[in-house]
Amino acid sequence: MSTPPANLAVSCLLPASWDEASVQRAAGECRERLGTAPDLVIALATSDYRPHLAGLIEALRLDGRAGRIIGASGSGLFGVGREIENASGLSLLFLSMPDTTVEILDGRCELKKSRLLDEAPAGFVVLADPLLSGLQGPLREFNALFPGVPVIGGMVSGGPSEQDLFLFSGDGNLEEPFVAAGFGGNVRMEPLVAQSCRPIGEPLVVTGTRANVVHSIAGRSPYAVLEETFTSLEEAFRHSAEGNIFAGLAVREEVDDFSTGDFVIRNIVGTDLSDGKLVLTSPPRVGQTLQFQLRDAAVAEHSLRGELRRLSGAGEDAPFAGLFCGGIGRGASLYGDSGRDVAILEEILGPVPLAGWFGNGEFGPVGGVNYRHDQALCGALFYRV
C-alpha cells in the first residue's frame, strides 16, 4: 500500500480471490491511511468477484466510508510495482479531492445532463462495456460535448463469458454502456498514451472500406499488402512477427515520415481469404493512411519512458495518484515477464498510489482528440492545482 505525503490518495492491490474479511480490512486500512472519507473510490476486480459485488460495495461504503464508487472487471490488475495476470485480485484507488467537483455518470443520457458542461472539466475516467457501448465506446459523445478534454480509461475485460464483464457503481451492478467520473475544479489530469508498436512496410491509403472491414489499400487486396509486408521483414524478425502484426491508422495526414505515436493501433480480428479483406477493431476512413505495425517490447518501454519523462519535465509538482488501462497484449505476453510497466512507473514516479487493469481497448487522447487504442498503456496522472 502506498500513500503520498499530502494524503490525497491511497492505493491497494489485493492478490487474492474474494474473502469478505480481507476486503473489509483493506477498505478500512485505505480510509485510515487517507485520513478522511474518500471523495471517490475506483475499484477494479477480476471476474470471480462478480457474485460478491454487493459485499464489495458494502465494504467500501461501511469500512472505507466511500460515498462515490465506480468499478469494473479486469482480466489482470495493476498496483504499485506489481501486476496480477491470470489470477484473482482487487485493485483499489481511494481519492481525497478537496475543492474538486466529482461527478458520476452512468450512461449517455446522464452525459448530456452533466453539471460539468457549465465549467471547464479537468477530464474524465471512463470504464466501458464493449458489449453495450460498441467497439469505440462512448468517445464520440465525449469528444462532441467536451472537445479537448482528456478521457482516459478503457473497455472492461474478464473471462470468456459475457457475465464475466461488468461495471458497477455505489448503487450496484450496472447494465449501462459505461460509467464515468468527471473532475472539475482544484485538480489537473495529465493523460499518458504509451504505444507498443513500430511501423513496418509502407504507409498506404485506404481506398475501400465498409464499417470496420478494409476492402482495399492503394487499390490492392489488403491481405496481399499484409503478406508483402511480412515477407519484406528481415528473416530474424519474421518469427517474432507471428501474431504480433497490427494495423496502424494515421491520426494526422500531414506527417512526412510516420513513426510510433502517429497512429492508433487496431487489432486485426479477421480475414477473408477469398477476396483479401481485413477486419479491424474499428472502421477506417477512405483516404486515411494505414501502415502495418509490429509489436515490440523495446518500443513499448521506450514509449512509456518518453511519456513519463515528458510529464515529469512539465513542472516541479508531483502527481498524487495515477490510473491506468493496459492492453491485454501487454504484460508477460509482451515483455516475457510480468510487472514491467508498473516497475517503470515506480522507477520514474516513485511510489505514487495507482490502480489499473488490462482491458479490451484503452482510451486516451492524441492531438487533443480522444481515441480507443489497442496494445497501448493509457492513463492519467492527477495533480493538485
Q: Band of the pLDDT at 179, cuts 50, 70, 90? A: very high
Q: Would you say residue 306 has pLDDT above 80? A: yes
Residue-level pLDDT at 5? 41
Residue-level pLDDT at 314? 61
CB atoms under 10 Å from CB of 271, counted, come to: 13
Q: Write the pLDDT tens digit of every residue in 111-120.
A: 888 999 998 8
Q: Write the pLDDT tens digit of every residue in 50-67.
A: 999 999 999 999 999 999
Residue-level pLDDT at 4? 46
Q: Would you say residue 214 has pLDDT above 80? A: yes
| Single pTM value for the model | 0.93
Q: Would you say residue 48 has pLDDT above 80? A: yes
Tell me the average pLDDT across 265-271.
92
Q: Which helix (H) or strand (E) is 51 found in, with range?
A: none
Q: Write the pLDDT tens digit of every residue in 324-379.
A: 999 998 999 999 999 999 999 999 999 999 999 999 999 999 989 999 999 999 99
Q: Do 335 and 302 form a contact (C-beta atoms < 8 A)?
A: no
3-class DSSP assignment, residue 111: helix
Q: What is the percent of the chain with per-residue pLDDT over 70, rounded to a whole number?
A: 97
What is the C-alpha to C-alpha distance for residues 66 and 28, in angstroms, rounded to an integer? Answer: 10
Q: Would you say residue 73 has pLDDT above 80? A: yes
Q: Write the pLDDT tens digit of every residue in 100-152.
A: 999 999 887 788 889 999 988 999 999 999 888 887 789 999 999 999 999 99
What is the C-alpha to C-alpha distance for residues 367 and 369, in angstroms, rounded to an integer? Answer: 6
Q: Do 379 and 192 form a contact (C-beta atoms < 8 A)?
A: yes
The position carrying cell 485493485 is 91
Q: Would you say residue 154 has pLDDT above 70? A: yes
Q: Which amino acid is at 16?
A: A
| Domain residue extents for the chain | 9-194+299-384, 198-295
Residue-level pLDDT at 315? 60
Residue-level pLDDT at 366? 93
| Residues 6+ positions from 46 with CB-CB distance below 8 Å | 73, 74, 75, 76, 77, 84, 87, 88, 89, 90, 158
DSSP string, 278-321: EEESS---TT-EEEEEEE-HHHHHHHHHHHHHHHHTT-S---SE
Tell me the average pLDDT across 289-300.
95
The full 3-state SS of 232-270, as one line of letters, equals HCCHHHHHHHCCCEEEEEECCCCCCCCCCCCEEEECEEE
Least confident of 203-217, 219-233, 238-252: 238-252
Which cell numbers hold the place of 57? Answer: 460495495
Q: Band of the pLDDT at 287, cuts 50, 70, 90? A: very high
DSSP string, 331-344: THHHHSSTTHHHHH
Q: How many CA atoms lie within 13 A of 63 on its CB side?
A: 17
Within the chain, what is the greatest distance between any pair of CA atoms? 63
What is the C-alpha to C-alpha distance for residues 301 and 305, in angstroms, rounded to an integer? Answer: 6
Q: How many CA atoms lie within 13 A of 120 on its CB side?
A: 5
What is the C-alpha to C-alpha distance for residues 42 and 181, in angstroms, rounded to an integer? Answer: 9
Tell me the average pLDDT across 165-172.
95
